[in-house]
Amino acid sequence: MKLRSLSELELAVDRETAWRKRELVTILFHARESRATKAPTALRAGVALLYAHWEGWIKNIATYYLDYVARQRLTYEQLSTPFFALALKQRMTKLSEATTANPHIEFAEFLRNELSNPAYLNSKGAVITAANLSSSVLRDILAKLGIDQHPYELQANLIDQGLLFRRNNIAHGEFLEVSMSDFEVLHSEITELLIMFAADTLNCAATRDYRI
């Protein structure tokens, strides 16, 4: 997706959140409307789908933001520290595999002579969840985007135990009882986290936090 303007980024984020919000509401509705005999299955399925949206929402919106920053054509010197670090990492990946001197010499020349050139940022594959979006993985994504981690740290236990632990047990075929009240709280708080993440991302873009 080529997101060159802030309005294009906002539209992409709005579209991403709109369909996911609709489905999250549907998931909760089905769980509440399930008959007593079917409720345990509906609730376990609800946890699995809630996690799917948790991972998909975070990964896609983070990737949109990275793509947007990449297309601002800033120089390396203009990038904020998190994005400068990401740009360097993408160049340094080749160094870790190099067995000759030339790649290292080229990187040294880049540091000395090319920092005023337009930065190369590749959003593809930059956001890694490993199908296991725990609070520690989320912290890494937030750091990569330059988003304040503190509000999310307060919900680390909810993410790891409330959502991820339950989802992993369910996904691996284990029987895990989930009460309606627990699911409603989990659904509400995870949805709030996701909405906060979308808002924080757009705010960083609007205030140009990606620039030094």
| 120 secondary structure, DSSP code | P
Q: Would you put residue 67 in left (φ > 0), alpha (ψ -120 to 50) or beta?
A: alpha
Q: Is the pLDDT of residue 97 over 80?
A: no
Residues 6+ apart with CB under 8 A from 176: 44, 166, 169, 170
Collapsing DSSP states into helix, strand and coil, what is residue 124? coil
Q: Is the pLDDT of residue 15 over 90?
A: yes
Mean predicted lDDT score pLDDT of the chain: 94
For the chain, what is the radius of gyration of the CA atoms? 20
User: What's the confidence (pLDDT) of residue 212?
Assistant: 92
Q: How confident is the model at residue 166 (pLDDT cuts 50, 70, 90)?
A: very high
Over residues 27-55, the mean pLDDT reads 94
Over residues 184-212, the mean pLDDT reads 97
Residue of 17, 2, 6, 3 whose CA lies nearest to 209: 6
User: What's the confidence (pLDDT) of residue 2?
Assistant: 86
Asked whether 77 and 116 are in contact (CB, 8 A), the reply is yes
The gap from C-alpha 145 to its chain's centroid, in whole angstroms, comes to 9
Q: What is the DSSP string of 161-212?
A: IIIIIHHHHHHTT------HHHHHHHHHHHHHHHHHHHHHHHHHHHTTTTB-
pTM for the structure as a whole: 0.91
Query: pLDDT of 108-139, one tens digit each?
Result: 999 999 999 999 998 888 999 988 999 999 99
Q: Is the pLDDT of residue 17 over 80?
A: yes
